[in-house]
Every structure is written in C-alpha cells, then in structure tokens.
Structure 1
C-alpha cells in the first residue's frame, strides 16, 4: 500500500520495512536508475527511525548502504553494538549479549548474519554487470582497512584495501567463468574483462596495475 495510495500510517516507527525490498535485497530501486524512488525510500527510513530489534537494525544498515549514505549506515551499526544485560532486557530494542549473539530473547541469528551482509554492502555492492567499491564507507570512522574474499554477483571474488578513507587497491578474480564488469568509485567508471583463472589488481584510480 505504501506505493499505491495515500493512507495514515498506524505505526510510523514500525520495525518492518518490507515495502523497501526493491532497494535491498532487490535491485529494482537504485540511485542511478530510480533516484525519485530512492528519495522516497530515504524518507521512509527517516520516518521509521533508528529504534528496533537487531534484524531490523541490520536491514536498515543495508538499506542506508544501498543509498550510499555512510553516516546513517554507521549509525545503525552503532545502534546494534550495544551491550545488553539478558536479565534486564526489553523486547524489540536490539543490541548484543556479551557473547556477541544479537539480543531478542533468546537471540536472533538473522541479526548476526544480517550484520555481516550489511557491512559487506557498505564495502562492496554488485549486480551482474557492476561493482561499486566502498559505496558507504564511513571514512572518518573506518579510515584504514582491508577486506578479503567478498563474493560479488557473477562469480567474482573481491579484495579491497583503503587508506585514510580513500580506495588504495582492489583485487579481482573469477575462478569458474569469464565476465565483464564495470567498476564504480566516486564517479569513475572502468569496464574490465575478467578472465577465468586470472587475478587482477587495480589502484585507487581503477587503473589495472597487474594481471
């Protein structure tokens, strides 16, 4: 109904975000192809707020990441990483127990799995044709880092290193198939052929340095 007709929302801050499926995990709402729908999705996320259980927090993290909004994605990460005393917890609040299980009696494994997926979306996003590098990196919070072995659509494995908030190096390889990918980073686009069994290294300007 959110997309069909006007109606009064009975619970503005509800934890569910099913009507944003097209943004994440789907791909029918994208910044490049449907900017107006992205604006609507952003409005929905602002209205829904930051409260909610772990699985809702991780979903919101991924949604903000798809909108390339690193500030709000990071805020949702911080919302989840909140120590919860299991003897005094509240329903639908979220947080983590001391063993890092997501709180929500007794715990929410979908929030734990969702967290890794959401952080991955902050670092790499993919379609069958495109790779978006560091699309929602909180540069002032995670200024330096590396991630290895992320899987992109089309059978491509991705390694990324960044320094002082900027892309430093990207490694790509495909073990089983040859594919064509367009790499995206801060407005720069480079189309590359990724041959099966070959490793490719790119610098921060998306120039291929080694094959």
Structure 2
C-alpha cells in the first residue's frame, strides 16, 4: 500500500504566508517523517524534494540543516542526508529542555489566559474522545496543541521560536511510532494545568515542569 504523501503547507491569507520558505520545507519534511514517507536509515534527496515542492535547492538545504541540528537527520559527506535512528536518550534530552521552556512559558502566559481557557478545554475534550476511541495519534496531536496554545500565549517570541525548534509534535509522534513509547495519560494531568490557570496558581510553573518531566520518566522506564 503506498504511503500517503504529506501536503505542502499553504498560506491562505494568514500567518503561514509570512513563514520563511525554508521553514515551510522543514515542516513538509517533518510531516513526511511522521507520516512514514521516510523511515530511519532512508535517504532524503535534496533535489527530489526541491522538484516536488517547486522550489530551489537552497531552502531545502537550509531546512535539512535545521533538521540535523534537531538530530532527526544526519548528513554524511558524499552520501547525502539520511534519517537518523532515534534513541530514548535523545527523547529525554528533548523533554528536559522542553520542561524548562514550558515552565517559563506558562508563567508568562498565565496573566494573559485568566478567564480565557476555552481553547485548552477544546483540546482536553478532543483528548478524552480520542482516548475512548483508542486513537493515540489524535491524542498526541491535541496534547501537543494544548501545550502549543500556552507557549504561543506567553508573548515572548524568542521562547516561542526555541520551543518550535524542538519539534515537539514530531518527537512525540515519532517516539510513538519508532520507539514504541507509551502515550502519557493526557487528559487528567492537563486538567490540573487548566485548573491552575483558572485560579492563578502561583506554583503553575513547577506544575508544568513536573508534568513534562513525567514524560521523560515514563520513557526511561519503557
């Protein structure tokens, strides 16, 4: 059965149109990794990606360099770019950095989100439904979207950029597929964060940090 091809990100008069071209290419390749188009050890041919997207090779090259710094691909002289084998140690390192960023993000976002947690509640509901349906991919998508909403509400563009650079969604979905990690029991822990935002909990940053570190601890025991 052929692997479904990821769609090229398109702008429709919204913020995506302001996203640099190499960033669109990076998202395209990330989605290809998650969708199973490229598996560990597979070669990603720069020229082929450029032809498929109708762009020059320069933004593709830049996108692949960024993916290499994220440790998702590796570049070998005269052999091109190949998808890396992921390890639990890499996953834990991502969670450690993510925990620090999200601790600060939720503290900055809290004053902005008081009385306005509707978007988080929508993702909570979607996570519960996905859990009932046994749809782990949908759970992961809404779990990451929940955290993204908080990070994007922090108002600090540098923090947001660094969080985006981690590729949280890709790491989460790839760890489920390639490392066979267990999906964290999303909804209940996320409810605590929503409750903390509603009441303006002064310990919300620590709560978020512990929440993220639970992921790392669970991957350690896998």
Q: Same fold (TM over 0.5)?
A: no
Q: Would you tell me which structure has more helix in proportion to its own residues?
A: 2
Which TM-score applies when normalising by structure 2? 0.28
Asked which structure has the greater RCO (Cα within 8 Å, sep 6+), the reply is 2
Higher share in strand: 1
Report the TM-score when normalising by structure 1: 0.29
